[in-house]
Amino acid sequence: MLRRTFTNILLACAACAIPPLAGAQAPSNAPLRLIVPFAPGGAVDQTARTLGNTLGERLGQAVVVENKPGASGSIGAGELRRSKPDGHTLMLALDSQAVNHLIVKNLPFDTFKDFDYLSLLVTTPQVLVVRNELPVRDLDQLVAYLKAHPGTAYGSAGTASAGHVNSAQLSIIKGLQTTHAPYKGAGPLLADLLGGHIDFAFAGLSVMLPQIQAGKVRALAVSSPARSRQLPSVPAMNELIPGFEFPTWIGLVAPAGLPPAVRAKILQALQDTMRDPQVSARFAENAFDIVNSTPEAFTARVHKDSALMADLVKRGVVGTD
């Protein structure tokens, strides 16, 4: 009887101990939410679809892509900020992530304290495109047209995106007066460009390349340091305006405070994914250049771009919302 009583006591203690242990750690195979803070069809969405399945295989988790567009990516970033730092919610950030704090009021997060910048994954050149009906064939003709038609509308994937920055810099250098039309991603921008609602745009080559190849829009220049291998006959902006270079970048971001073991697991899976031959081939086909940076290098790029936008805001070229 004493033995049975002692055994029952041990079992009861064990039963009491199980719930706290189970609740302290989420199942490693729970689905991973991958937030895309822009509408479907843009470069960030393309990146999510390219790496999602392979990243999930490396982590042993299903990857569920969630589009949360709005406020140049700030809606999705706010969703990430509210998520638990347990490795089950990540976000693909566009370059606007680095500068939204300068132009969007009342953000519900601190750009530099509330996120863990894991890796700058890819870049894609910005390409300057015009609608086919616009009577211009090169950058000089576009500048002449814009000076003759002040207020001409251009689009971007969002306020403070690379497309906005490039157009703002062009306006400074050439003394242009244009009207900015921000969108919730490159997909809606493209629809309006094809529909004639805007006249030109800097946008990611990964999105515009099929339209250029199909003859639906006209490419005038790319914002990479040299010409793109996909468009060898199109000049680099650097050839036309020395030092003009600002590509689109996309990186993986987590909420601040990831446990070290979880962070290490994600970083290793990410490295393996970006080195996968099939993933690399898909990125190359879509005009992406793989960077796969360290967290330190990614964080440094965020600070660098923030400083550039601060200068544009100070000049009054980019306003605040």
Return the CATH number at 189. Answer: 3.40.190.10
Same domain for 64 and 207, yes or no, is no
The confidence band for 41, taking pLDDT boundaries of 50, 70 and 90, is confident
Is residue 118 scored above 50 in pLDDT?
Answer: yes
Neighbours of 86 (CB within 10 A): 15
Return the number of other C-beta atoms located less than 10 Å from residue 210's C-beta: 13
End-of-domain residue from the set 221, 240, 259: 240
Domain check: are 133 and 109 in the same one? no
Q: What is the average per-residue pLDDT within 223-237?
A: 90
Domain that holds residue 311: 32-123+248-315
Question: Do 233 and 132 share a domain, yes or no?
Answer: yes
Give the Cβ contact number of residue 188 at 10 Å: 20
Residue 10 has pLDDT above 70, yes or no: no
Q: Do residue 142 and residue 212 come from a single domain?
A: yes
- pLDDT higher than 90, residue 298: yes
Residue 57 CB partners (closer than 8 Å, separation 6+): none
For residue 213, is pLDDT > 90?
yes
Query: Is 19 part of any domain?
Result: no
Domain boundary (178, 208, 240) is at: 240
- Give the total number of structural domains in the chain: 2
Tell me the CA distances in angstroms from 298 to 97, 121, 155, 267, 283, one per residue in order. 12, 9, 27, 13, 19
If you average pLDDT over residues 161-189, what whole number do you get? 90
Name the residue type at position 255: P
Q: Which of 240, 270, 286 is the last residue of a domain?
A: 240
Mean per-residue pLDDT, 259-287: 95
Residue 41 sits in a domain of what CATH number? Answer: 3.40.190.150
Mean pLDDT of the chain: 88
Strand order across the beta sheet in which 289-290 lies: 63-67, 32-36, 89-94, 248-255, 115-124, 289-290
pTM: 0.79
pLDDT at 321: 54
Q: What is the mean pLDDT of residues 129-144?
A: 96
In a domain, residue 14? The reply is: no
The answer to whether residue 177 scores a pLDDT higher than 80 is yes
- Kindly state whether residue 24 falls inside one of the protein's structural domains: no
Tell me whether residue 15 is in a domain. Answer: no
Residues 214 and 297 in one domain: no
Amino acid letter for position 278: Q
pLDDT band with cut points at 50, 70 and 90 for residue 33: very high
pLDDT at position 37 over 90: yes
Asked if the model's pLDDT at residue 316 lies above 70, the reply is no
pLDDT of residue 14: 43
Q: Strand 200-204 to strand 152-156: parallel, antiparallel, or no bridges (unpaired)?
A: parallel
Confidence of residue 108 (pLDDT cuts 50, 70, 90): very high
Token pair in block for residue 87: 């490795």
pLDDT band at 318 (very low <50, low <70, confident <90, very high): low
Instruction: Indicate whether 130 and 233 sit together in one domain.
Output: yes
Angle between helices 162-174 and 295-315 (to 10 degrees): 40
Q: What CA–CA distance (Å, rounded) separates 71 from 126?
A: 20
Share of the chain above pLDDT 90, in %: 67
Q: What is the pLDDT of residue 34?
A: 97
Q: Are residues 148 and 203 in the same domain?
A: yes
Kind and range of the H or E run holding 298? helix 295-315
Whether 293 is in a domain gets the answer yes
Q: Which has more confidence, 313 or 26?
A: 313
> Residue 94: its pLDDT value, please?
92
The pLDDT, as a whole number, for residue 319 is: 59
pLDDT mean over 156-182: 89
Same domain, yes or no: 169 and 265: no
Output the CA–CA distances (angstroms, integers) from residue 207 to 127, 185, 258, 286, in the order listed.
Answer: 10, 10, 33, 8
Confidence of residue 317 (pLDDT cuts 50, 70, 90): low
Same domain (yes/no): 131, 235? yes
Q: Which residues pair with 200 in a beta bridge?
A: 130, 154
Claim to verify: residue 76 and residue 119 sit in the same structural domain: yes
Tell whether 205 and 268 lie within a shared domain. no
Whether 17 maps to a domain, the answer reads no
308 and 219 belong to one structural domain: no
Q: What is the pLDDT of residue 299?
A: 97
Of 12-26, 158-172, 177-191, the one with minimum mean pLDDT is 12-26
Q: Is the predicted pLDDT of residue 2 greater than 50, yes or no?
A: no
Residue 75 lies in a domain: yes
pLDDT at 215: 95
Question: Is it the case that residue 308 has pLDDT exceeding 50?
Answer: yes
